[in-house]
Structure 1
């Protein structure tokens, strides 16, 4: 059930609440167990939604989830204040350091990473013209909330707080959360949740991850929040991960002491590349590929066939001479050929070039990759042949030594003959075929290819 918190002390919240009530056919019930100021009085319900209004500001509503009838997700319809113009935003609540704006020091409300990613997408769909959509770091209370929760806001000043179109967009995005789970599904003993560290108050890097991958972000400690925490506080860090339902961290910048502290707690620090590579790939497959080839952040990559792979892997060595030759011809096509055929593979030079090994489904061989490589060879060679033990590539080339024996001087004549044009030397016509020879390169194959 989705619980919605509206504060009459927040003009944007009140406007969002009014728009919410126009968007659906609500049932109204009287809750006489609580005062109207404390969420009682008229309570608005749909089959899977409960909306309550409060006189108190959101930041001061500790344990407000206990007022609702067992919600799965709690959303605070709120205003955003700042120098950011027309902005719709969403964020989780808590404090990495001292609690200057509600909640407790070093404490966090339970985040709703999956629902947060969903509402960012919904805000983008519904946003009025000229409104930007963004994410914020974790930066205020309340913290005494066990139900997964978040703020969804209209910003950033009075004209926007009173804008009915903006309020309606936020209302629509909140109702789009009906049926959305607060957390991503658990797989391989983890969820696709990250705790974010570093960057500014607004979080473009983490927002990019949410928009472009299937990973979600829980609590975010911006640079200023980490500075407020001081030295990495293990208890605060652990609380941020637990409140995010996360086993992974993403750092916006290089913070070795923080990374070391996170890893000492048993959590994993990953890079943005990891989130892109693993999107759509079961985490169990990710684990098997990394066990076989090493971490993604160290150069391992996932192939297209990782998405639906089941079963074991076999690691094979790519034929080095053939790999080097095709990468010299067309590195992008060579990389794409391996990605298309493999479960995983090694890379070097920041993922731009193939490494030594490839992980294939058990029972598979390198044959299909070698066939693709042979196709790349045809861009440089006139004929390419597969034999049981090698790929043989042949082409005719200009032979300068042969030309010299015929008395042809170096210079323009060499250039013409090399380009397949005849030349006149001392009254003789030299046909280019006379000074061309067939050259052959053999690229040996591993026994299992």
Structure 2
């Protein structure tokens, strides 16, 4: 695995980052003529896992630059970022959704490296000096024909930061953290819509295990025009990112139709969060077996520990028992499902478990029921499990029995209901004298093996 690093001598921030890179590792300078390749580099350095080349030209002018390297897995353009954003470390992919005004070709996209990009953003969060923000940007400017997956890794956003050794060192450290990181992952999406600094894709990268490839912000989509007339560009967004799924900010029905027609899937941020850590085979199997995430399916902790291909059982959730447990402790009732279930259907925006629920096996189902029973025991006089039912028994105040004993309605009824005796015509009436046992059974379904999470 080799990461190629592009340093432009025309960019002061790039030079500063290059200096910090050379100071942080044991590099060997290689004679340019021996290294060969075009476009021709001004200086070349190599160390384990990395090859750094300096070029006289601006980054945006370096189409085909991968040919100057010795078969890199992906390239990092160490670059400056310019804008009214204050101290900022940022990363993005390159391409043009419309006319090429800043390098590259019209309606062309460079190959992206979403997995490496996710790693660099997280490394930024670790290494950013005090006062620096960390962010992502949409796809913009050239080059567009790099010759290998690539991304811009930037120090911004003004001359003060471009000359800041601490900021440049943070970028250098983040780049060196890419040692051994693959450029792509099967858990990658592309994104459409939103602002230039892409808050939704940033949340996806920093808060889930999904990576994000090319991002077409709203202004990029304006440059693109009607997506029905530029289906090839929409197709390139997916192909250049190695992704089959997209998140779309806003309605954008024409774009959504084109994405579907091309055979790709639009998913929600909720879907990405829920499927984090879950094998995609399990996701497909359990969405097919139960319901879609966007309709209320939630994955439990057990799903994040399960291996693809393992059998699972499905059972009707004991909705009445769960509701009784929920009335005792709502958070604990939800936690029981999260802890023991592979997946469970919900209502009320995921706040109530109802419908069907999947478990690794019958033992996991029993553990779930036991947790619910423990909760309802806090509310009832007696709770027992007998076969396929949970029996709940309570001694409850019976107004009819109280009336038969001559107790007048009013405060005396309340005292008896609260477990206090009362005096009626010189006779003591105890709560047990005017109580009846009430029983209720909560039925339990039998788990059925339905399939495997392939």
Please state how far the C-alpha of 1:420 moved relative to its aligned partner.
Answer: 1.8
Match of residue 335 from structure 1: 334
Please state how far the C-alpha of 1:288 moved relative to its aligned partner.
Answer: 1.4
Contact 1:33 1:40 in 2 (8 A): no
Match of residue 46 from structure 2: 45
Please state how far the C-alpha of 1:427 moved relative to its aligned partner.
Answer: 4.6
Structure 1 position 417 matched with structure 2 position 416: yes
Question: Which digits, 9 at most, give the CA deviation of each residue in 1:227-283, with x for residues without a partner?
Answer: 221222321111000011001111233333322221221111111122222222211
Please state how far the C-alpha of 1:425 moved relative to its aligned partner.
Answer: 4.5
Please state how far the C-alpha of 1:314 moved relative to its aligned partner.
Answer: 3.1
SS of 1:279's partner is coil
Match of residue 256 from structure 1: 253
Contact 2:341 2:358 in 1 (8 A): yes
In the TM superposition, 1:239-278 aligns within 5 A as 239-278=236-275
Match of residue 323 from structure 1: 322
The whole-number CA distance in structure 2 between the counterparts of 1:160 and 1:422 is 80
Match of residue 141 from structure 2: 140
Match of residue 86 from structure 1: 87
Contact 2:3 2:76 in 1 (8 A): yes
Structure 1 position 302 matched with structure 2 position 299: yes
Q: CA 1:125 to 1:445, structure 2 compared with 1: closer, same or farther past 3 Å?
A: closer
SS of 1:71's partner is coil
Match of residue 431 from structure 2: 432
The whole-number CA distance in structure 1 between the counterparts of 2:251 and 2:399 is 54
Please state how far the C-alpha of 1:37 moved relative to its aligned partner.
Answer: 11
Q: CA 1:412 to 1:100, structure 2 compared with 1: closer, same or farther past 3 Å?
A: farther
The whole-number CA distance in structure 2 between the counterparts of 1:447 and 1:150 is 53
Match of residue 165 from structure 2: 164
Please state how far the C-alpha of 1:362 moved relative to its aligned partner.
Answer: 6.0
Contact 1:393 1:442 in 2 (8 A): yes
Contact 2:36 2:68 in 1 (8 A): no
Give the root-mean-square deviation of aligned CA atoms. 2.2
SS of 2:108's partner is coil
Please state how far the C-alpha of 1:30 moved relative to its aligned partner.
Answer: 1.7
Question: Which digits, 9 at most, give the CA deviation of each residue in 1:291-337, with x for residues without a partner?
Answer: 21132222222222223244233322223432333334333322322
Match of residue 351 from structure 1: 350
Contact 2:38 2:68 in 1 (8 A): no
SS of 2:184's partner is coil
Q: CA 1:393 to 1:52, structure 2 compared with 1: closer, same or farther past 3 Å?
A: same
**The 10-residue stretch of structure 1 (7-16 or 296-305) with the greater mean CA deviation from structure 2:** 296-305
The whole-number CA distance in structure 1 between the counterparts of 2:364 and 2:184 is 39
Give the alignment's TM-score, normalised by structure 1: 0.92
Match of residue 187 from structure 1: none
SS of 2:379's partner is coil
Structure 1 position 222 matched with structure 2 position 235: no
Number of corresponding residues: 443
Contact 1:36 1:54 in 2 (8 A): no
Unaligned runs of 5+ in 2: 449-454
Contact 1:318 1:356 in 2 (8 A): yes
Contact 1:365 1:448 in 2 (8 A): no
Match of residue 132 from structure 2: 131
Q: CA 1:227 to 1:404, structure 2 compared with 1: closer, same or farther past 3 Å?
A: farther
Please state how far the C-alpha of 1:446 moved relative to its aligned partner.
Answer: 2.6
Please state how far the C-alpha of 1:193 moved relative to its aligned partner.
Answer: 0.3
Match of residue 208 from structure 1: 203
**The 10-residue stretch of structure 1 (399-408 or 168-177) with the greater mean CA deviation from structure 2:** 399-408
The whole-number CA distance in structure 2 between the counterparts of 1:119 and 1:305 is 30
Please state how far the C-alpha of 1:429 moved relative to its aligned partner.
Answer: 3.9
Q: CA 1:36 to 1:129, structure 2 compared with 1: closer, same or farther past 3 Å?
A: farther
In the TM superposition, 1:279-294 aligns within 5 A as 279-294=276-291
SS of 1:32's partner is helix
The whole-number CA distance in structure 2 between the counterparts of 1:42 and 1:141 is 23
Question: Which digits, 9 at most, give the CA deviation of each residue in 1:387-442, with x for residues without a partner?
Answer: 11311011122223333333434333333322222334455443333333221111
Q: CA 1:38 to 1:166, structure 2 compared with 1: closer, same or farther past 3 Å?
A: same
The whole-number CA distance in structure 2 between the counterparts of 1:2 and 1:170 is 15
The whole-number CA distance in structure 2 between the counterparts of 1:96 and 1:428 is 91
Please state how far the C-alpha of 1:373 moved relative to its aligned partner.
Answer: 2.1
Structure 1 position 394 matched with structure 2 position 389: no
The whole-number CA distance in structure 1 between the counterparts of 2:409 and 2:160 is 79
Q: CA 1:446 to 1:42, structure 2 compared with 1: closer, same or farther past 3 Å?
A: closer
The whole-number CA distance in structure 1 between the counterparts of 2:321 and 2:226 is 51
Contact 1:31 1:42 in 2 (8 A): yes
The whole-number CA distance in structure 1 between the counterparts of 2:179 and 2:3 is 6
Match of residue 188 from structure 1: none
Contact 1:36 1:42 in 2 (8 A): no
Match of 1:231 among 226, 229, 232: 226
The whole-number CA distance in structure 2 between the counterparts of 1:123 and 1:263 is 35
Contact 2:111 2:240 in 1 (8 A): yes
Match of residue 199 from structure 1: 194
Match of residue 102 from structure 1: 103
